[in-house]
Structure 1
Amino acid sequence: MLDYPRISLEEIYSSVEGKKVIVIAGSKCYEDYINCKNPNEAIIFVADKGIKCLSRNDIKPTAIITDLDGINDNILFHPKYKNSYFFIHAHGDNQELIKKYLPSIMKQKIKIIGTTQTKPFYPLFNFGGFTDGDRTVFTALFFKAKEIEIYGIGEEYFNIDVFYNLNKLDIKAKKFLAGYLIINWLKCKWKYRISIPYENDEKCLEIYPWEE
């Protein structure tokens, strides 16, 4: 993944810094951002499968954060996304997907930023995060968004109390819960900067697992 067309981070800063970013952290569609007055003029960061919702409603995101398991060729190489930034995340389980898409990415000169979850080395970056959803929020924070409005993190059914009943969750649900907890932690830390309109529980943990 080291040999790929790269762009300057300054280009992204100029689009995001000091502005409001709508983060679509999951695949559920919400009327708020679909029906906003000028959705294609909004700064939208979308995580992986969330792009399908935007695509159905012909909304073009500013940035797509993905490890490639939730998107396909029709999205990655669609002309309407030629101006979107693709933050492609490399980890141990998606090496084959990266090998599959990288030749076409290089040929079509997609705007790509490579990310990793371990210690970064150029040209890979680590903006923070664990799942595609919370990585999307970390990315918006890194590029100094003034305000972040988050949708689709499971806020309609997750709440902090679920954390105390982990034995009832399967592995996939635990992963989603981890992403939710990270976003909840960010919201509690940056409460005047981050909002979750559909959140049904505004509690914060006294101590989060990674703070112990």
Structure 2
Amino acid sequence: MEFGLWEKYYKEIIDDFGFSRSGDEKSAKLLDEILSTEECLTLNDLSKIVGFSDKFIVFGAGPSLKEHIKMLNEEYDLKDYVLLAADGATTALIEEGVFPDIVATDLDGNLDDILLANINGANIVVHAHGDNIDKIASLTPFFNNVLGTTQSQPVGTLYNFGGFTDGDRALFLAVALGAREITLAGMDFGDRVTKYSRPDMSQDVGDADEFKKKKLVYAEEFTKWILENEPVEIVNLLN
């Protein structure tokens, strides 16, 4: 999605949630400053790394995630797919002995598991927004093979492929990387959340709060936009 089109949705999201554009821009500037001092990834770099396949599996952190991972492990040859985990879904994958090729994260998942995935070869796509400035500053330097994204105007080394939540941003990233087939695992778009998306939860699955429900509505809408506007086949394992 070109930024000119994305900006229309972005303004709607800012108004709907009361987010600060200046906060997003400040976080983006900080992430760019950090990545500019390191050997960060470009989109072309990442495209070459995952160029072995145009078939992607995007893992969200919904209630169906573990069931889908187990099924995929049994019935699919995962080596034929680029495995793209949305933030906390990384933990569920590691629990099943699977390491993703890419993790798309705004750094609110289980950081130990995301770092472990990175050590085992995962490329980390770090997303800057106004609410994670402290984490951008303190955590980004620990990762290798990092590509930076923002939800505001791209600056410096950063990209904006479109998307709002970790899950649908992962879908837009897959499209930017040349995906022609995307399988969705753990992408429920419902009103229940898991410990993988909310690490501070005491139970495995619980009710989403109104904030999260509203975010999931946008995630589903952007997923439909990709299906209707991009040359990619999307298969949701829930269907």
Structure 2 length as normaliser, TM-score?
0.69
- For the Cα contact (< 8 Å) 2:53–2:81, is it kept in 1? no
Match of 2:149 in 1: 115
Please, which of 132, 135, 139 is the counterpart of residue 97 of structure 1?
A: 135
Are 1:32 and 2:71 an aligned pair? yes
- For the Cα contact (< 8 Å) 1:156–1:198, is it kept in 2? no
2:219, 2:170 → 1: CA distance? 11
Are 1:22 and 2:51 an aligned pair? no
Q: Is the alpha carbon distance of 1:192 and 1:69 closer, same or farther for their aligned partners in structure 2, counting shifts above 3 Å? A: closer
SS, match of residue 140 in structure 1? helix
1:54 corresponds to which letter in structure 2? L
Unaligned runs of 5+ in 1: 159-168, 200-212
1:16, 1:75 → 2: CA distance? 25
Match of 1:83 in 2: 121
Match of 2:25 in 1: none
2:235, 2:191 → 1: CA distance? 17
Q: Is the alpha carbon distance of 1:55 and 1:114 closer, same or farther for their aligned partners in structure 2, counting shifts above 3 Å? A: same
Hey, which bits of structure 1, 4+ residues long, moved more than 6 A? Answer: none
1:57 corresponds to which letter in structure 2? E
- For the Cα contact (< 8 Å) 2:86–2:105, is it kept in 1? yes
User: How far does residue 194 in structure 1 lie from its aligned partner after superposition?
Assistant: 1.7
- For the Cα contact (< 8 Å) 1:60–1:81, is it kept in 2? no
Q: Is the alpha carbon distance of 1:186 and 1:196 closer, same or farther for their aligned partners in structure 2, counting shifts above 3 Å? A: same
1:195, 1:60 → 2: CA distance? 21
Instruction: Name the structure, 1 or 2, with higher relative contact order (CA <8 Å, separation 6+).
Output: 2
1:138-188 deviations in Å (ceiling 9; x for gaps): 000001112111122215779xxxxxxxxxx82221111211121123223
Are 1:147 and 2:175 an aligned pair? no
User: How far does residue 97 in structure 1 lie from its aligned partner after superposition?
Assistant: 1.0
2:179, 2:53 → 1: CA distance? 5
% same residue: 26
1:18, 1:39 → 2: CA distance? 11
Q: How does 1:143-182 map to 2 (within 5 A)?
A: 143-155=177-189, 170-182=210-222
User: How far does residue 38 in structure 1 lie from its aligned partner after superposition?
Assistant: 3.5
User: How far does residue 197 in structure 1 lie from its aligned partner after superposition?
Assistant: 2.7
- For the Cα contact (< 8 Å) 2:90–2:117, is it kept in 1? no
Match of 2:201 in 1: none
Structure 1 length as normaliser, TM-score?
0.77
Q: Is the alpha carbon distance of 1:79 and 1:153 closer, same or farther for their aligned partners in structure 2, counting shifts above 3 Å? A: closer
Match of 1:124 in 2: 158
1:117, 1:79 → 2: CA distance? 24
- For the Cα contact (< 8 Å) 2:54–2:179, is it kept in 1? yes
SS, match of residue 90 in structure 2? helix
- For the Cα contact (< 8 Å) 2:151–2:164, is it kept in 1? yes
User: How far does residue 83 in structure 1 lie from its aligned partner after superposition?
Assistant: 1.7
